[in-house]
Structure 1
């Protein structure tokens, strides 16, 4: 997309924002997008934006918030590295599946041709099992008559039932203890703020001072960043995670962070082994606020 086109779109975004009476700080809080990027979008300053592919995603988010149309955003400027990987991966996958299927068929056919007695042995075994089962069924039916023993001994089953009930109760208690102990072994507890999957609270176990955030990409690469908001504002980590790769970052207790995911397609994240909730929107760019306590 040309610089002139970006400036036209930026002017429309700025006019719509002013019409709603919002400041850039208001938009930053709503979208969790850096104020620097918002200013660059409105000014059409392409040099300060993260690239055409991700910039179009930011424009789409901004326009949806302002409830305006800025023209079709087809994301045609997808990075060449992603397109090339998709083509190679699709070719390799289809070829490997075809070879594996042919190999399975040829192995089975070759085994039958070279060792026909194997098939005969299997058939004999199946017939023998059927005959044996029918014979046992007939034998069990023939024992329908029985003799009543001369000395009938009456036993008290009350004690046995009581013991069985006691054992059942203790078994239930043991299962409850095991369940509660397994829950208590969790490193963290993740909860949503106001049922918002992009605003999370993370509760650490007593004595823990930090927890690991693990980010995994799917079949596409993603530019991600972790920014500390409290107690001091600083960039914890930022960079590109290649396709089907992962990155781990430590989060400190009593701190608040913003996790920015440039491409959430196929992205999976965990904190202390617990999965991050899935976003309810279909937006490619995702911003998550994480409060660790």
Structure 2
């Protein structure tokens, strides 16, 4: 012990050099929807809300299109009661989900960290647009009287690429893109705007698909216009995704906080 005490301080080697802590970054103080918030996150919030709005316009309209398909594949005999008819409709919807909706989700799970959220969203919007153009443009001249297996295949693809596309990614991106103190609020705003799109799409497509009194079928001209509009909506979503949506693949939630702190420290 005495030898240790006799060693001068200059001869004591440090195990590691002293590291000074960096200066503390200022705590962010700007509120939600302030000028500073809009300057830093306004574009992100706009593109998340807009793409969610557009995909819900299309997705909920597609669900209403099922009513035009049931009577072609389900024999509604006079002796069939309401319970049997409901069972047949439920079976039809289950087949549709198993063949398109559920596989779309699982394909997204497999590819989302391989090709990224933005590319999946762009692919989904693109192929949904192609499907609606393929259904809508010839609807008046062919599909209105020939809803067959080919029509069902195209209709199923719209749900597949909705789930392997914007119907999944629009829910994921807002949860990863914003800092923690704004994350849930911005996600809620984007989701609320999406439900406005669902209402608009439902009302608009209900108008287009209502049956005529004389024929008992929807007006083919209105259906053509409605389906082509859905295709155009998908193309608008594709452009918004390409030009405005930032990729979050490979970034942890903590990376958003570091990026935000660097912005604050440098301004």
Query: So what's the TM-score if we normalise by structure 2?
Result: 0.21
Query: So what's the TM-score if we normalise by structure 1?
Result: 0.20
Return the structure number with greater helix share.
2
Return the structure number with greater strand share.
1
Of structures 1 and 2, the one scoring higher in RCO (CA 8 A, sep 6+) is 2
- Please identify the structure whose Cα radius of gyration is greater: 1
